[in-house]
Chains A and B, each alone.
Chain A
């Protein structure tokens, strides 16, 4: 293959930007930013270990308290990882699916455990169960299609993931899929 650039031009290209060395104060700025976010822990030794243990214990206590009051989610999730993309996982169930109270309570425990795991990865943004009652605003569809659809959305989770594949992997692990429900995964487009 004949390159369209001469060797001299390729050499100049490779050197492009090399005159811009790292700014002297950038390293300290980055370290400070990480310290503020506890991504660098100042100090060493048993004090750090003790502080980490206390933090972990406090987080666990908050998590357990949250589980007692929230429906699906722990009330205090760890900081959400700063992944660029967000996806909504729409939990679909057959329109005629009926759960008794015991089954529903069991499901809630399962979903909460799964959501807790996603939150622990810093990937959980939101999640709610939706009421079965549906109300519409705007023109009715011809033939009342909406009420005749085979599935309904019973809940949702919003998660952060690097890729669609990662979001699909999360969805596959959701207990909803194990119980025969379908999950529609759609990327949230920033506007």
Chain B
């Protein structure tokens, strides 16, 4: 396996970088975009579909993004747009998994031994679909409610109430786990 080529960090804003990439479909510009946004997309995919499926999801995300970039109208940030594509890829991966295995729960992803984070990951994985996406997008990825509304096609108020319910459910799950552990 060859190591990815060393490329100096590109300080151009996303829009300029995307224009440069589309101008000649250049590898250098694409790698710069990948390195700028890849980590966040991968982390989101890991939390949504688990480590095993995350690489495939991220690869598919970039393929779709590269195809659809000429149509992107910059009505949102590039990160938000890419996350939307990742979200769709994750949903498809989960649907495939559900068909194949009959379950849709994303596996906990915290490192073994990291007790709190593992509890947290378990609690998040048990949330209903919509609430889980809102929680991950808001509390992990840092998107605003307006951005989440656009990404998920829901009202801002719905995003807020789902986040509130999700946090409450996580809190209850953590309290319950703590009581079992210490009781």
Contacts and interface: CB of A to CB of B under 8 A. Distances in A.
Interface of A: 1, 3-5, 9-10, 12-31, 33-35, 37-42, 44, 48, 79, 81-84, 121-122
Given A29-B55, A84-B88, A4 B167 contact: yes
B4 A82 contact: no
A40 B46 contact: no
B93 interface: no
A12 B170 contact: no
Interface of B: 1-4, 24-27, 30-31, 34-35, 38-39, 42-44, 46-47, 51, 54-55, 58-59, 62-64, 66-68, 71, 88, 92, 109-111, 114, 116-117, 120-121, 124, 135, 139-140, 142, 164, 167-168, 170-171, 174
Contacts of B34: 27, 30-31
Contacts of A24: 1, 3-4
Contacts of B64: 82-83
A19 B140 CA distance: 13
B117 A15 contact: yes
Given A10-B139, A14-B140, A30-B59, A40 B25 contact: yes
A77 to B, nearest CB: 14
A34 to B, nearest CB: 5
A44 B67 CA distance: 20
Contacts, number: 129
Contacts of A48: 24
A10 B79 CA distance: 22
A183 B24 CA distance: 38
A31 B30 contact: yes
A31 B27 CA distance: 7
A29 B114 CA distance: 30
